Structure 1
């Protein structure tokens, strides 16, 4: 993490709060910095990370337990959690929760570099293998299995809602007109995605994963993958969820395909799929399920939700720029889909 760029000024009041929280741990504190949304604490024994949560007391508990189990299964590429002096996994302060992990002294990975992205998906594959050996009975974790269908349908209903909102506006902006123009084609993409999901082995794979209670990171992206001395570490286990492992890989590929260095190039996606599969073998059924996730128009839906539901205060220019970036890949996505389907047909 580039601290010079991401460090944030801390007021004396905030420092007092941090010091008060850290008294619950056995640290000799030398310095406190704020980097993005977390605190980097320099102690006499090395650096640790203090993280703040607004809710979710099970998150530090689940993360701490998961790291212990991962270590027991030979997966060391993550940050250890620290217990308080009285053995708790977090400190409650006013309406906030705080917990402490190791600080991995390294750099955020560069997923724009395909070679680095390949190493990251290999890390993900090893993480999934290690988590599959864990007894999940003690975890308090959300189960997202068999829920993709509901998520897709809800997003499609939202697209209908966005269209009605635009139609009922007396004054339509340039963004409104452009967004509405593409709703039908994106809706159809969503229907195709839903069709792929419901004609795949999704529910059978979900039943199988339900028995093993397969764990996904659910936020596997550059800010949560740290490179240190040619090794990669996965951090921030706040979002872990029970789901198909291809949830993590599919979401990563979907996000990368919108980047300038990928631009829905199927053969770059294939490199990532094959890198993952070289560690944790994917079967044909998993690839079919993952396709439905990759091609679903999630970013288009998310932008509409930001504009018409959340009313995020972005400029018209910024909204339009984001939309143009999405829709320019329309044809490339169709080519991607064709190449992916050919690949599945010949997959062994």
Structure 2
């Protein structure tokens, strides 16, 4: 592990590879790490320098996506900088890095107008047809089948969870059968011939794949999606569902604002809305909690899932009615 002085020296070398001379370097924390990126004040402006955790092949793919989006003038992302060698990424001492413009702003607020902006940003992204030669997109049906596998694993573990004499165990006793019913109802919708046909023929698009509150920045007159490291070509339906769950905390006013603006820029037909309603009712966070929690342990995720459960039920009902309208 490199010392702090070594890390700073390394980041300065990366900056010089982009023609930048750092005057001030500030570590930026993420949910998982205290120095996941660096704010670099330079003579040429302010930038984000990000170490990339992953393979060179993956980073090449992501930078290819970003270049395509920039060429199509997609406005809801920070600009990725090109280094002196003409690429959007660089390797230094066997570590990968990339550099983007630094975005000043605030995190997503409570105003419904903010969620309209998120809906528009995602719809604009999903309306674009982004394909990169030699990189295969993810199959939509395969993604749905992965969700079915997660449900199956959860149901196998559920009796063990319900036997725990803990607060979590009591809660799983209370909601376990309901979670099973929710998944069954979702599968019934997805297995309907018209819905299954739509899934099979679904047009794929580039998805951000990590639309969360920390990855959304509200600037003065613009919203930005940051941290595109998980992006890939796949299903827009699952992205919509995850974005709603991760940002709105099941507030129906925010969900309405998001979907109303989204459908203005990327209309959804009846079958697509039914797919979204089915995926939205899947208790994905409960599955994760059940499959990864330890006996008697308490977690922030458990508290969030428990405290938002009634709002989740209201939101599921709202999305069901939206899909039927």
Q: TM-score w.r.t. structure 2 length? A: 0.84
Please, which of 190, 196, 200 is the counterpart of residue 197 of structure 1?
190
Distance 2:19 2:310 in 1: 57
CA deviations over 1:260-301 (Å, ceiling 9, x no partner): xx1xx3x54233211111122111111111111111001111
Change (3 A) 1:26 1:299: same
Q: How many residues align?
A: 317
Q: Is the 8 A contact 1:200 1:289 kept in 2?
A: no
For 1:33, the equivalent position in structure 2 comes to: 26
Shift of residue 220 of structure 1? Answer: 1.6
For 1:6, the equivalent position in structure 2 comes to: none
For 1:343, the equivalent position in structure 2 comes to: 322
Describe the SS at the equivalent of 2:51. strand
Distance 2:64 2:278 in 1: 32
Please, which of 222, 225, 236 is the counterpart of residue 213 of structure 2?
222
Shift of residue 248 of structure 1? Answer: 2.2
Structure 1: gaps of 5 or more residues: 1-9
Please, which of 260, 270, 282 is the counterpart of residue 268 of structure 2?
282
Distance 1:331 1:105 in 2: 35
Change (3 A) 1:156 1:101: same
Shift of residue 125 of structure 1? Answer: 1.3
Q: Is the 8 A contact 2:108 2:213 kept in 1?
A: yes
For 2:278, the equivalent position in structure 1 comes to: 292
Structure 2: gaps of 5 or more residues: 30-35
Q: Is the 8 A contact 2:115 2:257 kept in 1?
A: no
Give RMSD over aligned pairs: 2.9
Q: Is the 8 A contact 2:70 2:79 kept in 1?
A: no
Please, which of 94, 113, 122 is the counterpart of residue 124 of structure 1?
122
Whether 2:65 is the aligned partner of 1:66: answer: yes
Please, which of 176, 186, 190 is the counterpart of residue 183 of structure 1?
176
Q: Is the 8 A contact 2:17 2:84 kept in 1?
A: yes
Distance 1:177 1:195 in 2: 28
Change (3 A) 1:14 1:202: farther
Change (3 A) 1:274 1:139: farther
Describe the SS at the equivalent of 1:195. helix
